[in-house]
């Protein structure tokens, strides 16, 4: 139960802020009426992003026995589920959520925000997360890193 509460709080505070609260503040909850195809793409991205995030959160908690918070990271390297295809599906889910809002609100400032989040996440992953994972999991992480792409799946 404690792990569930920690994951819930993290989700509300971090991805909730980045992928829901800030986009709604940027758009003031309104925007221009998007075309039907853009609206449909936006909704699909919102659903896919939320599903991706929740699936990876489940894997962190159930298999890794931790949270996405770096100070309470999983105790085991999570290489199952979506992590078999990309090393960062949780971040991809959050970015898909932001891009979904871009479609729903048809707001150019949200697109600028999404690009800024992408750059910040990439720098965080390369500068902090990957070196930390290498230190925590050693050769297991190196083997995983060689087999699975950072953002996109390796084509075999």
pLDDT in tens, 41-74: 999 999 999 999 999 999 988 888 888 887 777 8
Instruction: Determine, yes or no, domain membership for 9.
Output: yes
Q: Is 123 exposed, middle or buried (0-12, 13-18, 19+ CB in 10 A)?
A: exposed
Q: Which domain holds residue 65?
A: 2-147
Instruction: Determine, yes or no, domain membership for 155.
Output: no
Q: How many domains, the chain?
A: 1
pTM: 0.92
Please, what is the angle between helix 108-124 and helix 89-105, to 10°? Answer: 170
Instruction: Determine, yes or no, domain membership for 143.
Output: yes
């Amino acid at each position: 139960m404690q792990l569930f509460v920690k994951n819930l709080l993290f989700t509300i505070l971090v991805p909730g802020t980045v992928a829901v609260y800030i986009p709604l503040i940027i758009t003031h909850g309104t925007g221009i009426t998007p075309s039907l195809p853009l609206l449909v793409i936006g909704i699909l991205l919102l659903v896919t992003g939320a599903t991706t995030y929740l699936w990876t959160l489940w894997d962190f908690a159930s298999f890794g026995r931790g949270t996405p918070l770096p100070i309470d990271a999983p105790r085991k390297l999570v290489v199952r589920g979506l992590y078999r295809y990309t090393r960062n599906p949780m971040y991809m889910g959050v970015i898909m959520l932001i891009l979904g809002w871009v479609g729903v609100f048809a707001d150019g400032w949200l697109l600028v925000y999404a690009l800024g989040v992408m750059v910040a996440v990439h720098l965080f992953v390369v500068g902090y997360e990957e070196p930390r994972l290498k230190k925590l999991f050693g050769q297991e992480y190196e083997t995983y890193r060689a087999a699975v792409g950072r953002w996109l799946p390796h084509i075999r």
